[in-house]
């Protein structure tokens, strides 16, 4: 872990930052590094939990002897509601599965591990961008490339996580206990990861801006 922190911005490197470096950039880099370390720690915890669950046949560190799964229930199953109150077609609920099997534990772990990997990847790229900016080279071609990579991670990762989560929920739907009095469905499901899609588009725009900045700097340096 110490060598990892050294690679992305050690205290020694921080002391070499020029006085002209923006304090906001340095603060943003510090916060991003902290978030990255926390995300890596959480990812490691999920992996340790999975290994523990495999040895204990589904009893993992994170979920223990029960797991909670988001589902949806038909609004018509709620019975008669007071006048002036109506229920939607499908309402969000949570189903608790006692004594999960190993496969159920793995399915639930995937729901945490997938987003964690995407977040770590995105924060790694953003840390590299801020590290270059903190050392006085914000408009290098490397940062333009990193922003393009960040955009692809956010957009592709957003769609992949959405489909993965829906597949996991459908797998759980066939394994939850039977409830004869209500009609359950996998969900909630949103086919469009709006937040990550917008973040990816912003990253693409920043990649174009930083690429133009790098070209302008090279033109100016060529004229000197």
Q: What is the pLDDT of residue 224?
A: 57
Tell me the C-alpha distance between 212 and 178, whole Å. Answer: 59
Q: What pLDDT digit, counting tens, does each position of 138-147 carry?
A: 777 888 899 9
Return the percentage of the chain with pLDDT > 70, whole number.
83
Which of 63-77, 155-169, 178-192, 210-224 has the lowest average pLDDT? 210-224
**Contact by Cβ (8 Å): 33, 8:** yes
Return the percentage of the chain with pLDDT > 90, whole number.
34
Q: What is the pLDDT of residue 74?
A: 80
Reference 129, options 20, 32, 18; nearest CA is: 32
Alpha helices (runs of H) in 10-101, residue ranges in sequence order: 11-15, 23-55
**Contact by Cβ (8 Å): 65, 99:** yes
Rg (CA), the chain: 23
Burial 111-144 (b: 16+ CB within 10 A, else e): bbbbbbbbbbbbbbbbbbbbbbbbbeebbbeebb
Q: Is the pLDDT of residue 21 over 80?
A: no
- For the chain, the average pLDDT equals 82
Tell me the C-alpha distance between 127 and 130, whole Å. Answer: 5
**Residue 109 — pLDDT band, cuts 50, 70, 90?**
very high
First to last CA, the chain: 43
């Amino acid at each position: 872990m110490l060598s990892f922190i050294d690679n992305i911005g050690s205290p020694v490197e921080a002391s070499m930052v020029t006085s002209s470096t923006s304090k906001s950039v340095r603060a943003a880099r510090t916060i991003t590094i902290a978030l990255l370390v926390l995300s890596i720690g959480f990812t490691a915890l999920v992996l340790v939990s999975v290994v523990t669950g495999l040895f204990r046949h589904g009893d993992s560190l994170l979920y223990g002897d029960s797991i909670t799964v988001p589902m949806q229930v038909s609004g018509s199953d709620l019975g008669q509601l007071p006048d002036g109150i109506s229920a939607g077609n499908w309402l969000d609920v949570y189903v608790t599965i006692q004594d999960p099997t190993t496969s159920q534990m793995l399915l639930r772990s995937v729901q945490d591990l997938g987003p964690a990997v995407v977040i770590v990847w995105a924060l790694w790229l953003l840390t590299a961008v801020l590290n270059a900016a903190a050392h006085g080279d914000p408009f290098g071609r490397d940062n333009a490339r990193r922003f393009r990579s960040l955009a692809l991670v956010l957009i592709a990762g957003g769609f992949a996580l959405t489909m993965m989560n829906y597949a996991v929920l459908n797998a759980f739907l066939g394994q939850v206990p039977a409830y004869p009095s209500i009609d359950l469905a996998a969900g909630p499901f949103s086919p469009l990861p709006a937040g990550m899609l917008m973040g990816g588009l912003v990253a693409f725009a920043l990649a174009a801006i930083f690429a133009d900045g790098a070209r302008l700097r090279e033109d100016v340096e060529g004229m000197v």
